[in-house]
């Protein structure tokens, strides 16, 4: 029997919703085997400056996340976290390690510091190779800067901080690109529709901002256009 995809995350789906578009990479010839670290590095170098978020202005609250990638047994893996159930917001959701800026620290430093605090990832092990497009959060008015970091192999000493992280997840990019893992929904808000993205993993659902970042990363690496 196949393993059940999707998790127990609470998704506040509005009444007005309908299926969205196919995965941007559904016709990509190299989707099945997944990308290499060399492809990731080349794609990030060629991507140019990241687009700023609508909420990004002086005085806006800023946050940063780290997108940690490594190659192991011929595949590229991404490290995600499942947030602790006792947190005040986004309980149990799957996300990248990250958080709010501390004072006026550089946002790259924010991403590395938060990854060290949440999962014990040594910043010295991370080569930051670029940024993904910045995102605005709908509810808080803050913006998030995702930094893509490459590790020299699978880290062996990660430890989840019990204050913030319930589990550390290692997911191959090839799984994210597999058939029927990605999907898109169009959610109605007042007189507008907004695309919401999902990745259905075994035992977990990645959705919202984290899924949007993963979608952008995969599209960049595979060389397919996204809005």
Distances in whole angstroms, Cα of residue 169 to Cα of each of 20, 82, 213 = 27, 7, 16
> How far apart (Å, rounded) are the C-alpha atoms in residues 173 and 12?
27
* Mean pLDDT, residues 53-64: 84
- In terms of average pLDDT, the best of 103-112, 158-167, 217-226 is 103-112
Rounded to 10°, the helix 37-46/208-222 angle is 90
CB 95 within 8 A of CB 148: no
Q: For position 55, what pLDDT does the model report?
A: 78
Cα within 13 Å of Cα(115), Cβ side = 30
Q: What is the per-residue pLDDT across 11-48, written as a single tens digit (0 to 9) for each? A: 989 998 999 999 999 887 666 678 999 999 999 999 98
Nearest alpha carbon to residue 125 among 134, 138, 115: 115
> Model's pTM, two decimal places?
0.93
* Mean pLDDT, residues 181-189: 93
Structural domain spans, the chain: 35-175+207-222
CATH number of 35-175+207-222, picked from 3.40.50.300, 3.30.300.90, 3.40.50.1370, 3.90.79.10: 3.90.79.10
CB 110 within 8 A of CB 101: yes
Distances in whole angstroms, Cα of residue 226 to Cα of each of 12, 113, 148, 208 = 25, 30, 18, 16
> How far apart (Å, rounded) are the C-alpha atoms in residues 40 and 214?
13
């Amino acid at each position: 029997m196949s393993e059940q995809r999707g998790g127990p995350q609470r998704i506040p789906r509005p009444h007005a919703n309908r299926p969205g578009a196919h995965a941007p990479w559904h016709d990509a010839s190299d989707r099945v085997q997944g990308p290499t670290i060399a492809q990731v590095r080349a794609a990030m170098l060629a991507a140019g400056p990241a687009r700023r978020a609508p909420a990004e202005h002086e005085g806006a609250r800023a946050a940063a996340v780290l997108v940690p990638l490594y190659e192991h047994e011929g595949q590229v893996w991404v490290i995600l976290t499942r947030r602790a159930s006792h947190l005040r917001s986004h309980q149990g959701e799957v996300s990248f390690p990250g958080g709010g800026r501390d004072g006026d620290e550089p946002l790259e430093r924010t991403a590395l510091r938060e990854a060290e605090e949440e999962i014990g990832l040594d910043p010295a092990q991370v080569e930051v190779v670029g940024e993904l497009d910045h995102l605005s959060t709908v509810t808080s008015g803050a913006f998030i800067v995702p930094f893509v970091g490459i590790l020299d192999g699978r880290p062996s000493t990660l430890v989840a901080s019990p204050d913030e992280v319930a589990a550390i997840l290692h997911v191959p990019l090839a799984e994210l690109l597999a058939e029927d893992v990605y999907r898109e929904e169009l959610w109605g808000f007042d007189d507008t529709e907004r695309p919401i993205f999902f990745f259905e993993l075994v035992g977990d659902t990645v959705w919202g901002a984290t899924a949007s970042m993963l979608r952008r990363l995969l599209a960049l690496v595979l060389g397919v256009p996204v809005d």
